[in-house]
Amino acid sequence: MLLALLKQIGRSMVTSSQKTSGLQKPDAQQGTAHILGETEQQFEKPDKLLSSALTEHIEWCTQYDAPSPSGELYSAWSRIPGGHKWHHYFPVYEKVFASLRDKPLRILEIGVYRGSSLKLWRQYFHPKSCIVGIDIDPDCMRFEDAANHVFVRIGSQADSTFLQSVVDEFGKFDVIIDDGSHLSTHTLASFNFLFPSGLKDEAVYLVEDTHTNYWSAWKDSKSSFIDVAKQLVDLMHDHYTDSERVIYFTKGHAGRLPALFVPRITTLIDEIRFFDSIVVFHKKLKPAPPTNEHLSG
């Protein structure tokens, strides 16, 4: 709803900025359907758009286990008692986190359970990293290990006052991992608060177990978190939907737009990566929209 409102406001502001700058939107593009704010929009089913070579149903054998992952993280995790994780997450973690290991980070994990992943992150990340776990279950306090910079705080991931107190105490985070309740409303509530207010300007937000979005017990709202993540792909491109010509972004061009009015999130998302059951957002403060340049010759 809020995003829809933002979109509406943004659209009317762009129109007024274009009026003041003498720019006209190309007529043919007027009235283009905007994705957010029109969530009832029906998309064609994939089997209408994709070839049968891609959509025909084939047998996927479940009679043998996929090989265990290789790599340092799986090897470390397999020696920590009490954990439960899908094997295919480990190569994803390594892809996303490998480049972040050489410096001390502030890491927040939502969902402590038996403390296994806190131990895993302690072993994997820089030894001076501060690792904070939050959980609704007070029993998780026993996994705090302050001597090794591992802290646990008790509260709900859906409670922004609690989340703010965690940010106030530890500062903004470099990495946030949501492995909490996986209820759609909780995942979204945490994202809504933490992505703008709990993450540093350049940081990673990883949501795992997103397969639960397809299971009715966890989908406690009309739109799942995956639905929202797909819409965020559109929001990452919002500046193109209201200014539909390349010259509006061209360096030195007389027709370049003086300003664009976009939802704030458009200026904050640098990358969205969808994996099986994991979505990763790279936050990066983008002070200006993208520029293109036509080189002579």
Ligand X SMILES: C[S@@+](CC[C@H](N)C(=O)[O-])C[C@H]1O[C@@H](n2cnc3c(N)ncnc32)[C@H](O)[C@@H]1O
- Residue closer to ligand X, measured from CB, 241 or 277: 277
Q: Write the single-letter amino acid at 211.
A: H
d(CA 97, CA 100): 5
What lies within 8 Å, CB to CB, of 294 at 6+ separation is 250
With CB under 6 A as the contact rule, the residue among 7, 18, 143, 157 that binds ligand X is 157
Closest approach of ligand X to the CB of residue 51, in Å: 38
With CB under 6 A as the contact rule, the residue among 10, 37, 180, 263 that binds ligand X is 180
In Å, the largest CA–CA distance within the chain is 68
Listed ranges 103-111, 163-171, 249-257, 259-267: which one lies at the site for ligand X (CB under 6 A): 103-111
Listed ranges 13-21, 52-60, 104-112, 247-255: which one lies at the site for ligand X (CB under 6 A): 104-112
Using CB under 6 A, count the residues that bind ligand X: 21
CA distances from 295 to 41, 159, 250, 255, 258 (A): 40, 51, 11, 17, 22
Closest approach of ligand X to the CB of residue 199, in Å: 18
d(CA 159, CA 148): 27
Site for ligand X in 107-146 (CB under 6 A): 109-114, 116-117, 134-137
- Residue closer to ligand X, measured from CB, 100 or 154: 154
Tokens 């997103």 sit at which residue?
210
Of the residues 87, 88, 182, 186, only one is catalytic, namely 182
Nearest to 2 by CA among 40, 46, 36: 36
Closest approach of ligand X to the CB of residue 180, in Å: 4
* Beta carbons of 118 and 134 less than 8 angstroms apart: no
The contact pattern for ligand X, residues 54-83, with x = CB under 6 A and - = no contact, is -----------------------------x
Helix (H) or strand (E) holding 91: helix 89-97
Q: Which residues bind ligand X (CB under 6 A)?
A: 83, 85, 109-114, 116-117, 134-137, 156-158, 179-181, 186
